[in-house]
Amino acid sequence: MLEVAGIDHIVLRTNNLQAMLNFYSGVLGCKVERETSPKLGLTQLRAGSALIDLVTVDSQLGRMGGGAPTETENNVDHFCLQLKPITEEDLRHHLQANGIEVGEFADRYGAQGQGRSVYIKDPEGNTVELRSLL
């Protein structure tokens, strides 16, 4: 049985990185924790025990999410749930037993640092990243 320990991070796509930084950092007090190259397009802000990832839509990562966000188009790329300890094999088996298509596990950076995770889709097609505390 899976147990969610918390939200690890949320990824927001943006047309205006500076405005988003002003809001999340300047207004809400989230500190910039990590920045990639502008080409990759990722800025990570610390939000308590979680991260808010800002991805510029014209970057390598941003283009993977489709068109730019608008008032009627989504800008949330995915969110990540931090799971209580479970092996990749047990997680894959649990998901497949429940009819969930499972992608490849990979090393990714999240609120708890580098770790293994996998992307799945919810019934509405939203991308959910699952990350174990192992």
Query: Is the backbone of residue 41 left (phi > 0), alpha (psi -120 to 50) or beta?
Result: left
Among 20, 125, 11, 13, residue whose Cα is nearest residue 78: 11
Domain that holds residue 116: 4-132
Task: Report CA dihedral (81, 78, 126, 105) to the nearest 10 degrees.
Answer: -60
Look at the chain and report how many structural domains it folds into. Answer: 1
Q: What is the signed CA dihedral for 128, 121, 57, 16, rounded to 10 degrees?
A: -50
Tens of pLDDT along the chain (134 residues) come to 788 888 999 988 888 899 889 888 887 788 999 998 889 899 999 988 899 899 998 889 888 877 777 766 667 878 898 888 999 999 999 899 988 899 999 999 998 889 999 998 876 577 889 998 76
- pLDDT computed for residue 124 by the predictor: 58
Burial bucket for residue 39 (CB in 10 Å: 0-12, 13-18, 19+): exposed
pTM value > 0.85: no
CATH number at residue 88: 3.10.180.10
DSSP letter assigned to residue 31: E
pLDDT at 64: 82
State residue 107 phi and psi, 5-degree precision. Answer: -80, 130
pLDDT at 74: 67
